[in-house]
Amino acid sequence: MAVAAQSIKFGTDGWRGVIGDEFTFERLALVAPIAAKVLFDTYGAKVGNRTIVVGYDRRFMAEDFAHKVAEVVSAAGFDILFSETFAPTPAFSWAAKQENALGALVITASHNPGKYLGLKVKSAFGGSVPPEVTKEIEALLGEPVPMAATPGKIQFFNPWGSYCEELARKVDLSKIRDAIDTGKLTVFVDVMHGAAAGGLGMLLGEGVREINSDRDPLFEGGAPEPLPKYLSRLFSVMKVHQETNPSGLTVGLVFDGDCDRVAAVDSQVNFLSSQILIPILIDHLTLRRDFTGEIVKTVSGSDLIPRVAALHNLSIYETPVGYKYIADRMLDAQVLLGGEESGGIGYGSHIPERDALLSALYTLEAVVESGLDLGAYYAQLQAQANFTSAYDRIDLPLASMEVRGKLLAQLQTQPPAEIAGKTVIGCQTIDGYKFRLADQSWLMIRFSGTEPVLRLYCEAATLEEVHKTLAWAKDWAE
């Protein structure tokens, strides 16, 4: 058991591993009751019960692994609210808060390729547990699995109903439905074979045009991640639509495997990451909904975010990469919006959790109420902020963790003074190494905590400059 426990390491949002290798029924049976115990130790006094929500996505055997979680956690004396069906991870986070539970244990590997599965641990307040909670779970993994004289009860529930009702309270769905029904707005949705399937249809009706709705645990050989390289079918469908319907507003929306990350596509079939959506959402929610509060961004977020925040006299708070840091801040301050470059966006008026469906609805509301295509909206914001930029990111596999260690040591002892011909004028080390260059572009070098992968992020005045800088970083690493 000790050997199996050693392989369980929590990253920025949960524990993940290859099915049948790192992620097995045996290891899950070790970690789940320990996670339940730590949730009880952390939130039990406030909640006053021993209830845990258990949910899952659409990955290979996800419901079977969820049943194992329910079995071992109930044996440890906890009552279980077990999902009748797959659902978005934020739906289970909402259920934890709504049902006054200790938290939620969700079987998902989010945006990872199909060979992966994982466990996300959600808190009683409806968001990612803070880092100290996952550290406590890891620390207790060598201990005997807790057992109870009397097992807890297992009850079943459908997570979609209450979750959709909550989203409907936050967005003017009637305006969006009317725009769709009258042909003023066409909405395409790529659910990437994941847990978002059917979600927007429940909220907006049959006019939503959903693709990749079937369950495919292999994700067509790719990954359910909202990145352009996985969206060829959506691009193709939208291009055909634009050729035959050039007028009217058209929006494409993309959700990752467990529906906590979002991206969009504008009517010209340009991909829009959350680096673009976050400024649009800040502007929309401030102007048309009178929202106020702090903007929380991760260190890898676009420089346009603080510039748009400044247009509305909103303060900025910066965190390391990982939504749990944003969630932590949401508990301590009045936050309007918290977002990360990888697609996670959440709202202080909701739960402290990234919620892709809510972000999609707010995005559609922004389009309908402004009358602007998303691309035009973004261009307008850039003009108002007097700031134009491009952004890209590369995830670079490394030969081994030893190579990772050598590169990290080099950054610590001999950081570059010049990058791609530009002088380094500053370096931020809140998470990885973010080098600010003389022309106000930046390069961020960050290592995965659990695998030999180097993540390279860059924002510069043009896409050509971005790719030049990323090519320099890749050459440096190799």
Pair 237, 379 in one domain: yes
The DSSP code sequence of 211-263 is ES-S--TTGGGS-S--SGGG-HHHHHHHHHHHHH--SSEEEEEEE-TTS--EE
CATH code, domain with 20: 3.40.120.10
Q: Residue 53: pLDDT band by 50, 70, 90 thresholds?
A: very high
Q: What is the pLDDT of residue 4?
A: 56
Q: How many C-beta atoms lie closer than 10 Å to residue 401's C-beta?
A: 12
Same domain for 250 and 373? yes
131 belongs to a structural domain: yes
Would 212 be classed as within a structural domain? Answer: yes
Residues 254 and 127 occupy one common structural domain: no
Under the banding of pLDDT at 50, 70 and 90, the label for residue 3 is: very low
- Looking at residue 8, its pLDDT comes to 86
- The DSSP call for residue 145 is P
Half-sphere exposure of 416 (CA within 13 A, CB side): 23
102-117: average pLDDT: 96
Instruction: With CA atoms as reference, report the closest residue to 282 among 336, 328, 333.
Output: 336
Mean pLDDT over residues 191-210, rounded?
A: 97
Spatial neighbors of 384 by CB under 8 A, at least 6 apart, are 308, 311
In a domain, 165, yes or no: no
Structure tokens at 39: 């949730």
* pTM score, whole prediction: 0.94
Same domain, yes or no, for 292 and 191? yes
Domain boundary pick from 385, 403, 419:
385
Measured CA to CA, the distance from residue 319 to residue 338 in angstroms comes to: 10
**pLDDT value for 103:** 97
Classify residue 3 by burial, with Cβ atoms within 10 Å: 0-12, 13-18, 19+.
exposed
Sequence length of the chain is 478
Burial of 360 by CB count in 10 Å (0-12 exposed, 13-18 middle, 19+ buried)? buried
Q: Is residue 352 located within the same domain as residue 398?
A: no
Closest CA to 253 of 95, 367, 118: 367
Q: Residue 185 above 80 pLDDT? A: yes
Domain residues for the domain of 433 are 390-477
- Helical H segments across 335-462, by residue range: 356-370, 374-385, 401-413
Taking every pair of C-alpha atoms in the chain, what is the biggest distance, in angstroms?
Answer: 68
Q: Which residue has the higher pLDDT, 130 or 346?
A: 346
Task: Judge whether 389 and 469 are in contact, CB under 8 Å.
Answer: no
> Of 193, 221, 167, 151, nearest to 62 (Cα)?
193
Q: Pick from 348, 366, 385: which residue ends a domain?
A: 385
Encoding tokens for residue 114? Answer: 């199909």
Q: What is the mean pLDDT of residues 208-217?
A: 97
Give 133's pLDDT tier (boundaries 50, 70, 90).
very high
Whether 146 maps to a domain, the answer reads: yes
pLDDT tens digits, 288-329: 999 999 999 999 999 999 999 999 999 999 999 888 889 889
Residues 260 and 355 in one domain: yes
Same domain, 93 and 213: no
Does one domain contain both 138 and 77?
yes
Whether residue 1 is predicted with pLDDT greater than 80 in this model: the reply is no
**Number of domains making up the chain:** 3
Return mean pLDDT, the chain: 94
Whether 446 maps to a domain, the answer reads: yes
* pLDDT computed for residue 25 by the predictor: 97
pLDDT tens figures, 411-455:
999 999 999 999 999 999 999 999 999 999 999 999 976 678 899
Predicted local confidence at residue 107, as pLDDT: 98
User: Among residues of the chain, what percentage have pLDDT more than 90?
Assistant: 88
* Residue 177 placed within a domain: yes
Task: Note whether 329 and 196 are same-domain residues.
Answer: yes
Average pLDDT for 110-123: 95
Please tell me whether residues 376 and 462 are part of one structural domain.
no
State the pLDDT at residue 371: 97
Mean pLDDT, rounded, for 77-83: 98
- pLDDT for residue 150 is more than 60: yes
> 291 and 176, same structural domain?
yes
DSSP 110: T
- Does residue 6 surpass a pLDDT of 70? no
pLDDT at 131: 85
